[in-house]
């Protein structure tokens, strides 16, 4: 019979609702897997086992009429996200002792929806890199091949979902930090339109680039978690687009975006970099499937080109200037210190002029692709990267430039605020995942999710698992698996 982790998040919630599982049994099952595999894949920096058990008992005691679609399901919160009473290090030894007194809004939403967090997932230091290899936790490794990185900055979240340690996880994306790990680990990583998810009560600056987003194995699971995240809050600096009448889960289940015009391109936007043939092949497969579904796919120029990189570079340097106690600066990694040194030398006037020029370039790019409902491109310029590849034998400046060339697509859509999702359409000859990036019009998240779900169906589903998925013995109740008689 099926193990609990074989079920999707929505299937687990349905089994809990029917009395075939309890939230506590599900949480115990996942804690068993975390104990066995968590350090192997570098998924967690902090595991909150007792708090998770307590929350699961409370979820089981909740009346049926107060339960949502993901009630009782296990999840995890990224270590960049404030969580009251739980160590939150922002991936850095400089904050190893920090225990926030408040929750981020998104953490409150997760708890209110009846999901149970197992702890904090590994991230890159201050979210500064697209790999998660720091000093406060083991490096986040790709469960498909442990020699490879799970990416960043939401690398631990993706490793946890791909290894079957939680069915869905919260991530955040300021330059691809949900979509990059999803592409590497064979998952769906969704960056919503700017304003859909509250950044409060702190951290709503950063020029509107970062936002929380869900990571999961199916589009429906991701859409259901987005419904949890997408609760309007007063005082937010960006007006949220109107949500779909049936929620994002309704859009995923309908999987009917109508007939669309899709603009395809493969040329990198932030680097003059050759694109790996496997990444191009994944885009071509998506084109074939979308065309078969009745959509018109046309070749378009990229919205932006490598000439805009100096503008992005200034913004990234400034974004690294999170407040750090002066006495803890020495605890930061070399890359973080390099970025902060560059950022500290940028004047307010230079930053203001850079942001203005960047917005002008974004407007021009939007007009070049205005007749397209969606844009399709690779998620990354190369399918995978080994652990240590960006850092070993390299200066911080070389590391930063290598990251730009590895991921020259995602960050553009953080600047534009458009919804963007990485989908595991491709596979390398070695069987490793390859993602494609599908991006919608600003505020049109429902259509993007519907298209992603349609593409998922055309691919025959994406809920594939690496070999270590079966590497842990069952922790099911009575060893009987899911499907025992309801109480």
Q: Active-site residues: which are they?
A: 78, 153, 177
Task: Find out whether 451 and 259 touch, Cβ atoms under 8 Å.
Answer: no
Cα(250)–Cα(46) distance, integer angstroms: 34
Task: Find out whether 149 and 141 touch, Cβ atoms under 8 Å.
Answer: yes
| Structure tokens belonging to residue 282 | 């994944």
Task: Find out whether 324 and 341 touch, Cβ atoms under 8 Å.
Answer: no
Cα(192)–Cα(139) distance, integer angstroms: 27
Cα(365)–Cα(358) distance, integer angstroms: 11
Element (H, E) at 234: none
Cα(177)–Cα(131) distance, integer angstroms: 9
Cα(102)–Cα(84) distance, integer angstroms: 4
Q: What are phi and psi of 260, to 5 degrees?
A: -120, 155
Task: Find out whether 195 and 249 touch, Cβ atoms under 8 Å.
Answer: no
Cα(453)–Cα(39) distance, integer angstroms: 32
Angle of helix 219-229 relative to helix 105-112, nearest 10 degrees? 110
Closest CA to 386 of 140, 136, 78: 140
Cα(417)–Cα(192) distance, integer angstroms: 8
Task: Find out whether 175 and 316 touch, Cβ atoms under 8 Å.
Answer: yes
Task: Find out whether 384 and 466 touch, Cβ atoms under 8 Å.
Answer: no
């Amino acid at each position: 019979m099926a193990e609990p982790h074989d079920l999707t998040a929505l299937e687990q919630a349905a089994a809990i609702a029917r009395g075939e599982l309890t939230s506590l049994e599900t949480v115990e099952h996942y804690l068993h897997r975390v104990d066995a595999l968590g350090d192997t894949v570098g998924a967690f920096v902090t595991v909150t086992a007792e708090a998770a058990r307590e929350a699961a008992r409370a979820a089981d005691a909740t009346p049926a009429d107060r339960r949502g679609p993901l009630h009782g399901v296990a999840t995890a919160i990224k270590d960049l996200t404030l969580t009251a009473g739980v160590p939150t290090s922002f991936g850095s030894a400089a904050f190893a002792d920090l225990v926030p007194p408040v929750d981020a809004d998104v953490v409150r939403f997760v708890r209110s929806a009846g999901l149970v967090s197992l702890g904090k997932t590994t991230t890159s230091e201050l979210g500064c890199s697209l790999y998660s290899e720091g000093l406060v936790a083991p490096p986040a490794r790709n469960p498909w091949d442990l020699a490879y990185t799970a990416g960043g900055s939401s690398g631990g979240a993706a490793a946890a979902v791909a290894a079957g340690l939680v069915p869905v996880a919260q991530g955040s994306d300021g330059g691809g930090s949900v979509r990059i790990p999803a592409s590497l680990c064979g998952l769906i990583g969704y960056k919503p339109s700017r304003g859909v998810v509250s950044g409060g009560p702190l951290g709503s600056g950063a020029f509107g680039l970062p936002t929380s987003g869900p990571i999961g194995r199916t589009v429906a699971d991701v859409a259901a978690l987005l419904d949890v995240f997408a609760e309007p809050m007063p005082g937010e600096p960006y007006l949220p687009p109107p949500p779909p009448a049936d929620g994002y889960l309704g859009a995923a289940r309908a999987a009917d975006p109508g007939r669309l015009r899709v603009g395809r391109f493969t040329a990198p936007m932030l680097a003059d970099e050759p694109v790996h043939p496997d990444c191009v092949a994944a885009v071509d497969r998506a084109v074939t499937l979308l065309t078969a579904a009745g959509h018109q796919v046309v070749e378009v120029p990229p919205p932006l080109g490598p000439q805009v990189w100096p503008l992005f570079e200034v913004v990234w340097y400034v974004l690294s200037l999170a407040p750090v106690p002066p006495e803890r600066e020495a605890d930061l990694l070399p890359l973080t210190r390099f970025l902060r040194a560059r950022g500290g030398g940028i004047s307010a006037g230079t930053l203001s002029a850079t942001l203005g020029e960047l917005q002008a370039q974004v407007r021009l790019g939007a007009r070049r692709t205005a007749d397209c409902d969606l844009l399709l491109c690779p998620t990354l310029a190369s399918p995978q990267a080994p652990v240590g590849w960006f850092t070993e034998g390299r200066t911080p400046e070389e590391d930063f430039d290598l990251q730009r060339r590895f991921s020259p697509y995602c960050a553009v859509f953080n600047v534009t605020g458009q919804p963007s999702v990485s989908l595991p359409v491709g596979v390398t000859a070695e069987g490793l995942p390859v993602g494609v990036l599908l991006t919608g019009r600003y505020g049109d998240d429902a259509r993007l999710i519907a298209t992603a779900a349609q593409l998922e169906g055309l691919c025959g589903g994406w809920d594939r698992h690496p070999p270590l998925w079966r590497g842990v013995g069952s922790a099911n109740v009575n060893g009987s698996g899911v499907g025992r008689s309801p109480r």
